[in-house]
Amino acid sequence: MARYLTFSGSRREGSFNTTVINIVSRELTRSNLQVTAISLDDYELPLYEQPTEKQLGLPEQAVELRNLFKQHDGIIIGCPEYNGILPPLLLNTLTWLSRSPEGQPDLSVFQGKPVLITSSSPGSLGGIRAAAHLKSFLSGVGCVVYPEMIIVANAFSAFNDNGDLTDENLGRKTVATIEQFHQLTSKISA
Ligand SMILES: Cc1cc2nc3c(=O)[nH]c(=O)nc-3n(C[C@H](O)[C@H](O)[C@H](O)COP(=O)(O)O)c2cc1C
């Protein structure tokens, strides 16, 4: 049975992207699928720079995250939008994941890995520009990025007090996208 790793690229309290990731994690759990939901709060990493890597090696948190990527069949990432691209926290985390303990490039955690991208913002485009940048990044390092993304626009009114989507159509589309992503992941990991 496929296993999923979910995380948000925002550590902000009340984060819209974490809210979407929580919806996805709940839906996967409701479908009796195995989910490991993590917070990047628990994987704090220094700003990636080559001299820092030379000095510190691969931080333990990056080693743990790399292992989590390897141990799961599908990854779901919540991508906030900062100035039209992905935020520094997410880019920094993914950059560390692209390095080996020996300080060499190592894209093995990404290669052939199915990824579903979600994004939410208060704007009317819901972070789709950042999601597209993330899709390009992840495809470039070898992930199998699911073509449909879960985009939640107008975030201030998009969720009810339970953290569910207020728009029923979007709710149904979200469930369908998760199911289709699961089918793809199951085929790839079979
Ligand atoms: C530096 C910065 C740049 C931002 N740029 C955009 C943007 O380009 N498009 C957008 O829709 N929202 C933008 N926002 C608003 C974010 O979408 C909003 O702060 C959102 O709540 C961040 O995601 P989170 O709720 O998961 O933390 C920006 C916010 C910050 C702090």
Q: Which domains does the chain have, with CATH numbers?
A: 3-189 (3.40.50.360)
Distance of CA 87 from the midpoint of ligand 1 (Å): 9
Distance of CA 19 from the midpoint of ligand 1 (Å): 14
Angle at CA of residue 125, ends 95 and 111, nearest 5°: 30
- With a pLDDT cut of 90, the percent of the chain lying above it is 99
Q: Do 118 and 152 meet the contact criterion of CB atoms below 8 Å apart?
A: yes
Question: Which atom of ligand 1 is least distant from the CA of 17?
Answer: 26
User: Among positive and negative, which fits the CA dihedral 109, 129, 159, 39?
Assistant: positive
Q: Which amino acid is at 107?
A: L
What is the overall mean pLDDT for the chain?
Answer: 98
Pairing verdict, β 34-37 and 144-145: unpaired
What is the arithmetic mean of pLDDT over 156-178? Answer: 98
Distance of CA 86 from the midpoint of ligand 1 (Å): 10
The pLDDT of residue 66: 98
The pLDDT of residue 80: 98
Question: Which atom of ligand 1 is least distant from the CA of 123?
Answer: 11
Q: Which amino acid is at 147?
A: P
The first and second tokens of residue 6, run together, are 């979910």
What is the arithmetic mean of pLDDT over 40-63? Answer: 98
The pLDDT of residue 122: 98
Q: Do 38 and 108 meet the contact criterion of CB atoms below 8 Å apart?
A: no
Pocket of ligand 1 (CB under 6 A): 10, 12, 15-17, 80-84, 121-123, 127
Q: Which of 61, 136, 50, 62 is nearest to 97 (CA)?
A: 62
Rounded to a whole number, what is the largest CA-CA distance in the chain? Answer: 51
The pLDDT of residue 24: 98
Q: Do 180 and 114 meet the contact criterion of CB atoms below 8 Å apart?
A: no
The pLDDT of residue 17: 98
Distance of CA 53 from the midpoint of ligand 1 (Å): 29
Give the span between the Cα atoms of 20 and 25, in whole angstroms: 9
The pLDDT of residue 74: 98
Q: Which of 78, 85, 76 is nearest to 152 (CA)?
A: 78
The pLDDT of residue 147: 98
Residue of 82, 151, 159 with the most ligand 1 atoms within 8 Å of its CB, for mutation: 82
The pLDDT of residue 166: 98
The pLDDT of residue 83: 98
Distance of CA 189 from the midpoint of ligand 1 (Å): 34
Residue 101's pLDDT band, with cuts at 50, 70 and 90, is very high
